[in-house]
Amino acid sequence: MSNTSDQKPATKRTPNAAFSAALTPSPELAAVIGAEPSPRTEVTKKIWDYIKAHNLQNPENKRMIRADDKLRAVFGQDEVSMFEMTRLVNKHLTK
């Protein structure tokens, strides 16, 4: 039998300030998500909304995103994985 008094109390997770800081998109990224400064989480959400609204996921491999003209300006290539996308988008965000 374990002694519950030895267990540490659960600590509430604090949000990371870096994720909630509003960042300004480059003109290329602003063409996709708008020019309003947004936190990284919102930027990613807006990009996914754009991808789904324009049916840009590869139907055979949903992890791959086929870039249209606007996203090609951001990604710099015709197709990217959803894991690469964040790294490529970060280059278009400034404090």
Between 6 and 31, the more confident residue is 31
| Dihedral angle sign, alpha carbons of residues 18, 21, 24, 30 | positive
Is residue 76 situated within a structural domain? Answer: yes
Q: What is the pLDDT of residues 42-73, one digit of tens each?
A: 999 999 999 999 999 999 999 999 999 999 99
Max intra-chain CA distance, the chain: 63
Between 8 and 5, the more confident residue is 8
How many domains, in total, are found in the chain? 1
Which pLDDT belongs to residue 4?
58
| Containing structural domain, residue 54 | 40-95
Which pLDDT belongs to residue 13?
72
Q: What is the pLDDT of residues 12-38, one digit of tens each?
A: 776 666 667 899 999 999 999 999 999
According to DSSP, the β-strands at 93-94 and 24-25 are antiparallel
Q: CATH number for the domain including 51?
A: 1.10.245.10
Is residue 61 situated within a structural domain? Answer: yes
